[in-house]
């Protein structure tokens, strides 16, 4: 998602407007703070790219995300292909287009970032629900615990702190767990909590 999340609807020129254009493959963008650790995902995808050279990085990144959602029990996401890759690191977007986890005003920050992409409050809440999958690692993002009872044994590389107990299952437990805030082993970022603190976001988060 971080490749697509740089999109700015207010910029007409490509690739300056960002979006799913494969620029995340370059070190210049991988070094952005919000992308810490994603070099490991790129290493996993590179053999596929090498085998199917006709597929662009932009398409491959989006396919990987859609496949992960489906494999975790989520919906099958219809794919469209034909995205064009940027040609070099000089075409990477500037740092700061992706959301921060702990800004001074979380709700305002979420709107600033996602309105720029053309999303509304309902879509912001829905997209935030993707945190039902995965973990946060403090050595990468600066957030979360080194390990919890849910992550200490893996699968995969153990460690980190997840938002949900079953962090490889695509469901709506993210919203339930944030609202209840009963388990200290589950992560709640300021931008997560904002979904139930902001009146407009809360309407959709509680549905």
Q: Tell me which residues are annotated as active site.
A: 2
**Cα pseudo-dihedral 100, 104, 106, 110, rounded to 10:** -50
Spatial distance between the Cα atoms of 22 and 154, rounded to a whole number of angstroms: 29
52: helix, coil or strand?
Answer: coil
147: helix, coil or strand?
Answer: coil
Which DSSP state fits 187? -
Residue 92 phi, psi dihedral angles, 5° rounding:
-70, 145
**Cα pseudo-dihedral 161, 106, 32, 94, rounded to 10:** 160
Spatial distance between the Cα atoms of 181 and 56, rounded to a whole number of angstroms: 41
Spatial distance between the Cα atoms of 142 and 126, rounded to a whole number of angstroms: 24
Largest CA distance in the chain: 49
Spatial distance between the Cα atoms of 53 and 24, rounded to a whole number of angstroms: 17
């Amino acid at each position: 998602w971080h490749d697509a999340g740089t999109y700015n609807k207010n910029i007409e020129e490509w690739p300056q407007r960002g979006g799913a254009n494969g620029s995340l493959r370059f070190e210049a963008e991988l070094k952005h703070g919000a992308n810490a650790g994603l070099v490991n995902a790129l290493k996993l995808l590179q053999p596929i790219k090498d085998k199917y050279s006709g597929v662009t990085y932009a398409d491959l990144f989006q396919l990987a995300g859609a496949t992960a959602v489906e494999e975790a029990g989520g919906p099958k996401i219809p794919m469209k292909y034909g995205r064009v890759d940027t040609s070099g690191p000089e075409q990477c977007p500037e740092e700061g287009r992706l959301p921060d986890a702990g800004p001074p005003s979380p709700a305002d920050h979420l709107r600033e970032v996602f309105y720029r992409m053309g999303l509304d409050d309902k879509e912001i809440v829905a997209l935030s629900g993707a945190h039902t999958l995965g973990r946060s690692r403090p050595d990468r993002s600066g957030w979360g615990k080194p390990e919890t009872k849910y992550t200490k044994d893996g699968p995969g590389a153990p460690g980190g702190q997840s938002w949900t107990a079953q962090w490889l299952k695509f469901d709506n437990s993210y919203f339930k767990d944030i609202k209840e805030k009963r388990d200290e082993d589950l992560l709640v970022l300021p931008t997560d909590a904002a979904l139930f603190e902001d009146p407009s976001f809360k309407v959709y988060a509680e549905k």
